[in-house]
Chains A and B, each alone.
Chain A
Amino acid sequence: MKTIDVWKQKLKKIKNEGYTYVDIDNRRAKELLNVIITIEDPKKQEIEGPLDYLSAQHKWLYPSKTEISNVMFKEILNPAYDYTYGGRIFNFADKFNQINNFIIPLLKKQPLTRAAVVSVYNPIEDSNFTNTNKPGIIMLYFRIIEEKLTISAVIRSQDFFFGWPANIYQIYSLQKYVAENLNVEIGSLTTLSNSTHIFESNFEDINQLVQEEK
């Protein structure tokens, strides 16, 4: 199944089966817990499908692919952002490059390891009541299976309509980077989203997207 179809299918599921709640910013939303999606054979063009759809809409301005993937790699914290995934991944707590100094050498040395974990969540910074901008992706797990590099991401909270397309693109970009450095092929890409939600303000847009499927 194409990535865009997986996206549409899950959106429909959340809309039909999700339970309604009102969030801290007083927005009505529907939510499902712990939604797992696996893209067995991620290809760049396929991965970009949902992103391209959102970017083509006139109603809103969606960030560019360059900006979306840049934040996954930018080591230094850009002053305009509260955090960047890149900062957490490549320069955790201003101390540790989790990819270049751990994941890549580890998987080179022990391709069968089950310890290739990247932590994006930093309890020292994020586990406090006042910080309202905590990263969505909190953990990444790499594993080589049948000489292919698989990646799994745990996403604490995800706006499934606007966020998932960008997140899978970011995760795929990182997977590709690590795979190229290991000289292995790309395997499956999995997201486990704890809070998978859609906002009522986007229901109409979601209906339109899902109807286009027919």
Chain B
Amino acid sequence: MNTQKQKVLLAFTKEKNKPLSTSDLVKHVFKKEYEECQDKITTPTKDKEVIKLGKRELARLHRKLLYHLNTLVQDSTLIVTNVKGKGEKHYAVNTQKEQDDYKLKKIVETITGRELENVDLQGLEKFISKGYIKKPKSNYIRKLKTILINPKGKTLTELFILLEDLMVTITDTIAIEDFQTLISQNEPEHLQTFLRKLDYESQEYNIQINLLLEAKSTDQARMTDFLESLKKTNLKAILLTSVEEIGNKNRLFKKLLGITNVSFQNKAINHSPIILGKEGAYSVSRKHWDEYLQVKNDLTGLLYSSTSVVVDAKKVFERKLTYFEFRELIIELAKNMIKAMTHQRRNADTLFFKINHLNKAKQKEFYQANTSYIRLKHIESEVKNSDDELLNLLESTTEQLKEFCTSSETIFKSCGLPTRIRIKLGTTTPTSTKDVVTNEIIKTIDSHHSFANIKDTNQLITIFNECKTALIEVKRTESVTLEKFI
């Protein structure tokens, strides 16, 4: 289905099919262009030419959208509910029509609530009422959190179409691996067009995009130019590198360190790529990553995470929740997440039809590394302000959660449901090497490690090699912080 038609239909999901006028839909479908028109129409200079231009452009947007609206009415996807004012039509989705188109079917289901199972968090009422848990959106089990995409063998256009298709199914982040190959293989202007479109679409769907790349065998000037151009976007790049490489490509890294949207991952320590999502960092184990590498030619990517729930650690510990209650909260959340995963599993054929279809030959492998997260918001500051007891609590809870997942897996397996259940405690902020306490806690609860041999002293960030020789030294600024090293 055409993207603009899809956006029209998505507009109706926000208020459960409340009728919308052509103007409402223009605002939704052409958000940026609409704002630009409004800026011109309401220009503080009151320049008549500018106002006229704004009105003319707005009329063009109306005409453009009316074309799509008419075709949607003609094929009975939309119905005209009434005509108001100077003849402006109001529309609603025709929920009675049997939909053949998969995406449209999903949109209509969202509007009508059809097939939606009870996904309310259960057994957690006392924690929800105190605001300890951020209640997930009701459709969270119908979508996946974060996936990695393998761009191999795809042109930029094919890749963009794929990403655009997947955005409907994802709520946090899509990461594209091996992006250096796309930089090498495509003309800079084509890449820029791709980035612009990707940036726009990802903002429309409120999704984070990570571009994962390595510095090897790529024209350094080309890579620098490309990464520089990210400054204008909301896209994030993660450079998978090593201390040695930083030492060998000193000049390149000095430049790259200054680019705001670029983070650095030490691949010598973290073997598999870390994804920096809206809700925090995502990772997969070395074992799962190695398994993925063996079959990646047959896969469109890898599912990093399907669900997550955020717990406000500040509220939890400020209000003196006992350690017993804290553990109870985590285990109850884990039970709810298993239920959510069960629903996703049972309905994977329809919910994630596109992804399953793309990974046809190796569907099982796509889901193999899936991890759900219980994210503790503000946990770093809580740890900093407390004694060892809290760290011990987090360690023992992590252990308890692991045992719970293992025993649940055993139960499911004994019932003829051999599946993987992985739930981890995590933070809502990406890892940083800011201080020891943070590192300790992140190591404890998120299995992340800091970038090796790096120090932040006297306004300077220094990276050392194993012999403690300084390889690179850059001035700490607003954009050059230790947060960049994951």
Q: CB within 8 Å of B: which residues of A?
A: 60-64, 66-68, 70-72, 76-85, 133, 135-137, 158-159, 162-163, 166-167, 170, 199, 201
Contact = CB atoms under 8 A, between A and B. Distances in A.
A102 B411 CA distance: 32
A166 B416 contact: yes
Given A79-B356, A79-B363, A71 B416 contact: yes
A85 B415 CA distance: 10
Contacts of B367: 79-80
Interface of B: 335, 338-339, 341-342, 344-346, 348-349, 356, 359, 363-364, 366-367, 407-408, 410-419
14 contacts: A63-B412, A63-B417, A67-B346, A67-B417, A78-B346, A78-B348, A79-B359, A79-B363, A79-B364, A79-B366, A80-B344, A84-B416, A163-B415, A166-B415
B348 A137 contact: no
A78 B414 contact: no
Contacts of B345: 78, 80-81
List the 6 shortest-distance A-B pairs measured between CB atoms, nearest first: A79-B363, A163-B414, A166-B415, A159-B414, A80-B345, A82-B418
Given A79-B356, A79-B364, A136 B416 contact: yes
A170 B419 CA distance: 18
Contacts of B415: 62-63, 68, 162-163, 166-167
A137 B411 contact: no
Contacts of A162: 410-411, 414-415
Given A81-B364, A162-B415, 10 more contacts: A60-B407, A61-B339, A67-B346, A71-B417, A79-B359, A82-B419, A135-B416, A162-B411, A170-B416, A199-B410
B419 A166 contact: no
Contacts of A66: 346
Contacts of B341: 80
Contact of A82 (B344, B363, B364): B364
A135 B221 CA distance: 56
Contact of A70 (B344, B346, B356, B414): B346
B356 A67 contact: no
Nearest to A83: B418
A60 B364 contact: no
B407 A201 contact: yes
Given A70-B346, A78-B348, A79-B356, A60 B411 contact: yes
- For B335, B341, B367, B410, the residue with the greatest tally of chain A CB atoms inside 10 Å of its CB is B410
A201 B342 CA distance: 24
Nearest to A68: B415
A167 B415 CA distance: 6
A170 B417 CA distance: 12
A19 B156 CA distance: 63
Best-surrounded residue of A163, A170, A199 (most CB of chain B within 10 A): A163
A76 B356 CA distance: 12
A64 B339 CA distance: 9
Of B344, B408, B413, chain A has the most CB atoms within 10 Å of the CB of B413
A85 B416 contact: yes
Contacts of B413: 133
A32 B404 CA distance: 27
Contacts of A78: 345-346, 348-349
A60 B418 CA distance: 17
B325 to A, nearest CB: 15
Contacts of B339: 61
